[in-house]
């Protein structure tokens, strides 16, 4: 499919998805006080370009996305104490951390599209997490991260936002992959190998589940970082309002089950 699309069209598609990724990165579900945030799958548009157009276009788009994120986060460089720290932050926390999203399409032709996009999303989120952990344990040690046990602290600190970011990205990637065919020349509904399409009610169920997931992430993960020290604090679970979390989760599960059941029944009819 890649060879049948002109370079001008590829450039246009990459630019559009880059714009969408940038806008999504500005819509923060959780914005942690010492850096890091949870977005609505802001890296997924880059993953989709990588899946659709190949690794080359994915890496180029990811690099540009990393440059944009660096420009949006220029204030972080003011905390660096040496020029080497500035270079390390730019390269690892931004350029490489976001460019790796261009590897999100490597599972194409190895598994079905929904699974391939979900696996690609998981893969690039792990790579981005590793980049942030490295800078946290080195550059940020002694600044926003304690000098002692810097690696362990960086692992837990970055997990505070990367775990929910990964959950959202993987879920949305799988959902969109089961709805739209990103491997065809023109965007159209995804048809599985058995020739079946996702029923519209299942699309709605997916949106409902995503909404509930975002709500739970906001309610839970926003409490897992100490607002004064920035340290990951598991005791924050005690301050979570669990009644709304449980109520929303049960309501979402009930609605989703009903929608899936109705969709399956109509399909059988």
Tokens standing for 52?
Answer: 């659709």
Sequential pLDDT tens for the chain (269 residues): 556 678 888 899 999 999 999 999 998 888 776 678 889 889 999 999 999 999 999 999 999 999 999 998 888 777 777 778 888 888 888 999 999 999 999 999 888 999 999 999 999 999 999 998 888 888 766 665 666 677 888 888 888 889 889 988 998 999 888 888 888 877 787 776 655 666 677 778 877 887 888 888 778 877 776 666 556 667 777 888 888 889 988 998 888 888 878 877 766 65
Cβ(128)–Cβ(97) below 8 Å:
yes
- Please report the pLDDT score of residue 21 as a whole number: 95
Report the Cα–Cα distance between both ends of the chain, in Å, rounded: 35
Strand partners, 232: 225
217-252 burial string, b = 16+ CB within 10 Å, else e?
bebbbbbbbeeeebbbbeebeeebeeeebeebbeeb
pTM of the model: 0.80
User: How do 37-39 and 180-181 pair as beta strands?
Assistant: unpaired
Three-state DSSP class for 31?
strand
Q: Which pairs with CB-CB distance under 8 Å and at least 24 residues apart come from 65-74?
A: 65/18, 65/21, 65/22, 65/98, 65/99, 65/101, 66/94, 66/95, 66/96, 66/97, 66/98, 66/99, 67/94, 67/95, 68/18, 68/22, 69/25, 69/94, 69/98, 70/94, 70/95, 72/25, 72/26
Cβ(21)–Cβ(131) below 8 Å:
no
CA nearest 66: which of 21, 27, 30? Answer: 21
Strand partners, 180: 189
Tell me how far apart the alpha carbons of residues 173 and 124 are, in angstroms, rounded to a whole number: 12
- Please report the pLDDT score of residue 223 as a whole number: 77
- Please report the pLDDT score of residue 2 as a whole number: 59
Residues 6+ positions from 251 with CB-CB distance below 8 Å: 212
Tell me how far apart the alpha carbons of residues 127 and 69 are, in angstroms, rounded to a whole number: 17
Tell me how far apart the alpha carbons of residues 9 and 5 are, in angstroms, rounded to a whole number: 6
Cβ(178)–Cβ(112) below 8 Å:
no
Three-state DSSP class for 73?
coil
- Please report the pLDDT score of residue 96 as a whole number: 93
Q: Given CA atoms 104, 110, 111, 113 in this order, what sign does their dihedral have?
A: positive
């Amino acid at each position: 499919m890649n060879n049948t699309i002109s370079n001008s069209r590829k450039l246009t598609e990459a630019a559009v998805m880059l714009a969408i990724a940038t806008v999504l990165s500005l819509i923060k579900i959780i914005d942690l006080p010492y850096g890091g945030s949870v977005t609505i799958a802001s890296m997924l548009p880059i993953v989709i370009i990588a899946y659709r157009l190949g690794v080359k276009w994915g890496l180029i788009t990811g690099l540009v996305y990393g440059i944009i994120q660096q420009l949006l986060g220029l204030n972080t460089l003011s905390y660096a104490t040496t020029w080497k720290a500035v270079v390390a932050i730019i390269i690892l926390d931004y350029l490489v951390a976001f460019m790796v999203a261009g590897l999100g399409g490597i599972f194409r032709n190895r598994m079905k599209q929904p699974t391939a996009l979900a696996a690609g999303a998981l893969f690039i989120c792990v790579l981005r997490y590793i980049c942030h952990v490295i800078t946290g344990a080195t550059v940020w040690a002694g600044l926003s991260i304690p000098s002692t046990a810097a690696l362990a602290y960086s692992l837990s600190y970055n997990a505070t936002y990367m775990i929910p970011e990964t959950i959202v990205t993987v879920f949305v990637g799988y959902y969109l992959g089961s709805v739209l065919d990103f491997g065809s020349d023109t965007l159209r509904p995804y048809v599985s190998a058995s020739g079946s399409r996702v029923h519209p009610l299942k699309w709605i169920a997916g949106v409902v589940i995503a909404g509930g997931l975002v709500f739970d992430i906001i309610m839970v993960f926003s409490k897992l970082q100490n607002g004064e020290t920035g340290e990951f604090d598991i005791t924050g679970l005690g301050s979570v309002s669990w009644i709304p979390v449980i109520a929303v989760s049960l309501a979402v599960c009930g609605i989703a089950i009903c929608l899936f059941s109705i969709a399956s029944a109509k399909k059988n009819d």
